[in-house]
Amino acid sequence: MTDPVQRKPAKGIYVLPNLFTLAALFGGFYAVVMAMNERFEMAAVGIFCSMVFDSLDGRVARLTHTQSAFGEQMDSLADMVSFGAAPALVAYEWTLQPLGRWGWIAAFVYCACAALRLARFNVNTAVVSKRDFQGLPSPAAAALVAGFVWLTSQLFSHHYEVPWFRHVVAAFSKVPITRAHLAWPMFAVTMFAGLTMVTNIPFYSFKEFSGNRSVPFTILVLLVLGIALINIEPATVLFAMFVVYALSGYVLYAWRRAKGKPVSMVS
């Protein structure tokens, strides 16, 4: 008796993975609505929630064998909203608007770079190394922008407390900080995140740490410590984590060049 041949999933729309994709899309939409209502902490939280759901939809599809071309296209379009348009609009509403045309240019450059990054990812899936990303992933770029908005917006919020941040700003500033003072730093973060997405800089993909593979016990301990730190000071820790990740690509690129190793992500 021969083993039964595993059937491929029929073409169609699968509910479970697309629910996670729609949840990620809702997070981006929610971020825009919150920014329009001057609730920038919640806008940043919406983008980070989108990152969580975006990381789950593909895994759920693979675990349940419900991958489909529709799901791939849906995921890409949701990413464009949640990690392209939403962070750009949130940043513009937060502090880029006073810069006039420079503000909307920075927001547009970020949004356009996110579109280019996602399009390049879709067409290079078969030829790019699985170990590294080609350019900064759009969720990480969105986390840089949203993390900066979340952290700096707490200077003016009575709902969240960042004691050390308030004390540092007060110690080094002789005048009260306003949102206008944050416009050019926001400009720099937005431009850096956008342009880094379309570079060929390699960024570690963490795909080796999938749920069906064993990992060292030390990694598990570090994950627990990371979760604890995020719970203590989410805005500070998340922003710092993604700053380190964004800079790690440039460090990896320089190290590979110095060692004479290939730096191209295309195999």
Q: What is the pLDDT of residues 171-196, one digit of tens each?
A: 666 667 778 889 999 999 999 999 99
Count, in order, helices (H) and strands (E) of the chain: 10, 2
Q: How far apart are CA 154 and CA 160, in angstroms?
A: 6
Q: In whole angstroms, what separates CA 255 from the centre of its chain? A: 24
Q: Which residue, chain included where needed, has tokens 């392209």?
A: 84
Confidence of residue 67 (pLDDT cuts 50, 70, 90): confident
Q: In whole angstroms, what separates CA 72 from the centre of its chain? A: 18
Q: How far apart are CA 148 and CA 185, in angstroms?
A: 9
Backbone angles phi, psi at 7, to 5 degrees: -75, 145
Q: Which one-letter amino acid corresponds to residue 14?
A: Y
Contact assessment for residue 94 and residue 40, using Cβ atoms and an 8 Å cutoff: yes
Q: Judge whether residue 61 has pLDDT over 90.
A: no
Q: Judge whether residue 159 has pLDDT over 70.
A: no
Cα-based distances in Å from 112 to 14, 109, 141, 175, 176 = 30, 5, 13, 36, 35
**For position 6, what pLDDT does the model report?**
47
Reported residue count of the chain is 267
**For position 168, what pLDDT does the model report?**
64
In the chain, what percentage of residues exceed pLDDT 70?
80
**For position 129, what pLDDT does the model report?**
67
pTM greater than 0.75 (yes/no)? yes
Q: Judge whether residue 79 has pLDDT over 80.
A: yes
Query: What DSSP designation does 203 have?
Result: E
Residue in 34, 198, 189, 184 with CA at minimum distance from that of residue 103: 184
Mean pLDDT, the chain, rounded, equals 84
Higher pLDDT, 76 or 129: 76
Higher pLDDT, 17 or 14: 17
Q: Judge whether residue 266 has pLDDT over 50.
A: yes
Higher pLDDT, 101 or 214: 101
